[in-house]
Amino acid sequence: MPEAQAVQQLISTAALAKLGAGIAIGTAALGGGAGIGIVFGKAIESAARQPEALPLVQRLMFIGFALVEAQVLYALLIAFILLAAK
């Protein structure tokens, strides 16, 4: 079995973890922004087509917004976990 050699790290683990946290939340914000834009855009469109449906559309819009936002926040949770790494 070959001897283990000392590994010289150029970038420390903590620094890589912080970089990963940045990438995680940055990428998640892309999808989240697109998703929220779609949800609200469709809601505005359908409310403009048929103003009587506004209460129903508004309720569904809030539900959709919260569920899309949740996805972004799962990635934020991973970013928090990564930020705490040593």
Partner 1 sequence: MNELFRIDQWVYMIWTAAGLTLLLLVTGAWAIAASAGGGGRFANLVEALVDFARENIVDAFLGEHGKQWFGFLTALFFFVLFANLLGKLPGPVYGLVGNRMEQNPHFLLETPTGNINVTSALAVMVFVIAQGLGLVKMGPAAYFKKRFLLPAPKWVQIPTIPIMFLVLLAEPFSLAVRLFANMTAGHKVIVTFMVADLVGGVWLITQAPVWAKPVSILPFALTVALMGFELLIAFIQAFIFALLSALYLSESLEEHH
59 binds partner 1 (CB under 8 A): yes
Structure tokens at 16: 């890589």
Q: Candidates 19, 63, 84, 85: give the one binding partner 1 (CB under 8 A).
A: 63
Among the listed residues 74, 76, 66, 77, the one whose alpha carbon sits nearest the alpha carbon of residue 35: 66
Whose Cβ is closer to partner 1: residue 38's or residue 73's? Answer: 73
Is residue 44 close enough to count as binding partner 1 by CB under 8 A? no
Q: What is the DSSP letter of 85?
A: -
Question: Within 64-83, which residues bind partner 1 (CB under 8 A)?
Answer: 65-67, 69-70, 73-74, 76-77, 80
Asked if 17 contacts 82 with a C-beta cutoff of 8 angstroms, the reply is yes
DSSP H helix total and E strand total for the chain: 2, 0
User: How many residues at the interface with partner 1, by CB under 8 A?
Assistant: 13
Q: Smallest distance from the beta carbon of 64 to partner 1, in angstroms?
A: 10
